[in-house]
Structure 1
Amino acid sequence: MPQDVLAQTRQQRAESLTSITWRGRTVSLKNPDLAVAILKAQEVSTELEERAAETAEGQLELYDKVLEAYAEAEKIAKKSVKDDEAATAKVKSSKSSKSTEEVRFLYTYVAYYLQARTIQRNLLLAESIKIRTEIDGRSQDMVKLYDDILKSLDIVRDLPVVQQDNVLEQEIEAKALYFKAWRSVYVATAYTTLSKYAEAVALFDRAQQHVTRARGSNRGKSVTSGDEDDPLSVNEADVVSLEKSIRGRKCKAHAAWYLELDAERDGDATDVEKKLAAMRIDEKDVDEVSPLLTFTYGITSLRLETRIFRSQPPALIDRLNTYPTNLPTLKSHPNVPRLVDFPPAFRPIPAKPLFFDIAFNHVEYPNSLLDRAGKPQQTTSATGVTSGLSKMLGGWWGNR
């Protein structure tokens, strides 16, 4: 169909587009230019959904058309907001206030979909380069894509209607934490490539914290949107898949860290990656409940606790219930393992101190019963008591 005929047809259809419904709210659409731009963006979006089975290159071309259409609509909507602000500055009334709310709502609607489609395009790019990233170990491209996604969410968070909608604001925050978790995963993967396994384990822990906060920020609900047609949707299956990926990757990083420490202690220069491959760790098989991760290395089962050991671990006797990633050593002799602390530290014991009994011997009781019986009071000299106690304690401690 020729472009002029297509534009004329779209113009006729735009005349029937008199309102926009989004997130349970309907506002009137009075700007004809904005109606044409929104209709064009919706048509291209429909074409994108119908051709979802195409290759990544074909989908990227369609996304470029969608973003171009929404960028044009966003430009018109922003101009409408500026014109409305200028008109409101001259004359302010209840009618103008309602018009201002509608104009800002339309601008938020268009800008939201522009950023949502931008995020979708970045996710498609991330999916297309994920395999290449796993092979060559270059996670920087993935980190850059997730940085762009977080920037888009920051733009959405600053939109006028979003700041007034607490539910939408919570959804945006939950999605931001979800994508922050993915970013932490790929930063940790980059550290793994550099053989910095301790840092990688810490970053995987940070990723899990982001996922936990994402669930909590949305009040226990899934990290999803209240609008079924929302292009920026993250369902429960996506969150579960992310958690499995975090556990599996952390599992490998923790195992590599153990193997590296073991190689340093034994002076074995064998490649850690080869040993790690021999362990056959699959992130899909990681236990979802147990806090301990089980690895299989030949016929030996190793259980590594999922935490980072402190720089100065306790003596071996104080942590017999955990598998040692490295034996603690003496500061004076780095090659000698520190099995126990000697001399042992002072510890409280559930017993009565001896000197309580000694003090008890000096307690004087009233002699009222002896007075009633007419018997003389018995006096005991302090020196006699002390002498007797000295003999007793002297016998115990060898002073005779």
Structure 2
Amino acid sequence: MEGPALDLFKAKIEAAMEEARSQQAASLTEFNWLGYRFPVSNPKSRVSILKAQELEKDLQGPTAESLPAEKKKLTIFDKLFTAYNDARNTIRSDLVSAGNAESVKDELNGLDKAVGAVLGQRTIERNQLLVKIAKSKLNRKRDDKNEKVTKPEELVRLYDLLLQNVADLSDLVSSGRDRKPEEIAFEEECERKNLAFRAERCFYLGKSYSLAGKRVEAYALFCRARSLAEDALNKFQNIGNKDEGTIQELKTLSRECRASSCIEHATGIMEEEKAPENLSKKISAISLNETATKAEKYLLDKLDVYESAVGDANTKMAPKIERFPPAFQSIPRNPIVLDLAYNCIEFPVLEERMKKGRGGFMSRFFRSG
């Protein structure tokens, strides 16, 4: 089945699922979060929350490992975010229309906070999935031309997002006055995640400096990342309900930080030792004899000689084809003619030929006097 028939079939299935979800939403009367029970009275909020919970089962249930690829999970996350955002929009609309009913407002504010906290948790999980995808492409060789290889800077940006997500979630949870032990434990979990993400970010920031050849900065960052990883490891090991997966990741990170710092230290010393040798080689390559002058000849200067102007393929000498930009050359111009006889010409006196002005009676009288 392909084309419009498949789209129609999917639309019918989606409509049937929406109808079934609406019927199930009648039984959803409360939303549980960290020991709180918030009533859900609006049918639209019920449908959106129920849809989001079904998508969460697809991600966290036993069928999560059987999902075909990471792109499928990312698509489910997008649908999950849409459902929770629809629920929050409905809740906030109810808050506007609640009026002066303080009890209803408190319940709606608590429900909005709970849904926002769950949305923040799923955002962190989505970004962790993006980190996993990026790490899988970090050391992979580019076999396919269309495949993009991950750079350490991209992982640094992803961990920046994770740190921001954890900070927002921690602020949201700690915003209440009378907090339950579950909320305090959740805030402590956010602090542990924050420390682990900082260690990962510092490690990949050191990787980016290492690729840029900055050995001192990379060494300092790797040492700092190792210190953060060990602090986070101690905190994760001191809790009752230990997360073995995170503990193993932090142990691996600590070992990689130590290995990378040793490599950067050794590489920096080697480069420092080789610096005078490389400098002496470059100085010895400088020549002031005639061979150097001969090498400066260009193709137009030796057209009668069968010699390559491109140079040997094994050398890094620049091709000597033509000088660019070209040198200035003098070119002939039209002569400038000066009238040298002008100063020697004697012009005739023309006063006699000028018309004399005629005066009146009074002018003749004064002239005669």
TM-score (norm 1): 0.56
> Contact 1:137/1:193 (CA < 8 Å) preserved in 2?
no
**Residue 107 of structure 2: which of 94, 97, 102 is its match?**
102
2:159 is matched with 146
Q: How does 1:187-206 map to 2 (within 5 A)?
A: 187-206=205-224
Query: Shift in Å at residue 42 of structure 1?
Result: 1.0
Residue identity opposite 1:252 in structure 2: I
Of the candidates 120, 123, 132, which is equivalent to residue 127 of structure 1? 132
The equivalences for 1:1-400 within 5 A come to 2-49=13-60, 50-53=63-66, 54-83=68-97, 87=99, 90=100, 92=102, 96=103, 99-135=104-140, 138-159=151-172, 164=179, 165-214=183-232, 220-221=238-239, 235-264=246-275, 267=278
Instruction: Kindly indicate whether the alpha-carbon contact (under 8 Å) linking 1:150 and 1:176 is maintained by their aligned counterparts in 2.
Output: yes
Q: What is the Cα deviation at residue 254 of structure 1?
A: 2.5
**Corresponding residue SS for 1:2:** helix
Q: How far apart, CA to CA, are the structure 1 residues paired with 2:259 and 2:101?
A: 62
| Identity value in percent | 27
Moved more, 169-178 or 109-118: 109-118
Over alpha carbons, which structure has the higher Rg?
2
In 1, are the aligned partners of 2:233 and 2:251 still within 8 Å (CA)? Answer: no
SS in 1 for 2:213: coil
What are the superposed Cα offsets for residues 267-309 of structure 1, whole Å, 9 maximum, x if unpaired? 4999xxxxxxxxxxxxxxxxxxxxxxxxxxxxxxxxxxxxxxx
Question: Bigger shift: 259-268 or 145-154?
Answer: 259-268
The alignment covers a number of residue pairs equal to: 254
* Structure 2 length-normalised TM: 0.60
List per-residue Cα deviations over 1:169-188 (Å, max 9, x = no partner).
22212211211111111111
8 Å contact from structure 1 (residues 197, 253) kept in 2: yes
Where structure 2 has 5 or more consecutive residues not aligned to the other structure, the ranges are: 1-11, 141-148, 282-369
Letter in 2 for 1:244: R
CA shift at 1:130, angstroms? 1.9
Does the CA contact (< 8 Å) of 2:223 and 2:258 recur in 1? no
Task: Name the SS of the counterpart of 1:134 in structure 2.
Answer: coil
Calculate the aligned-residue CA RMSD, in Å: 3.2
Q: 5+ unaligned residues in a row in structure 1: which ranges?
A: 226-232, 271-400
SS in 1 for 2:138: helix
Q: Given the superposition, is the C-alpha separation of residues 91 and 118 from structure 1 closer, same or farther in structure 2, using an over 3 Å criterion? A: closer
The separation in 2 between residues aligned to 1:199 and 1:18, in whole angstroms, is 56
Asked if structure 1 preserves the Cα contact closer than 8 Å seen for 2:200 and 2:253, the reply is yes
Alpha-carbon distance, 1:199 to partner: 0.6
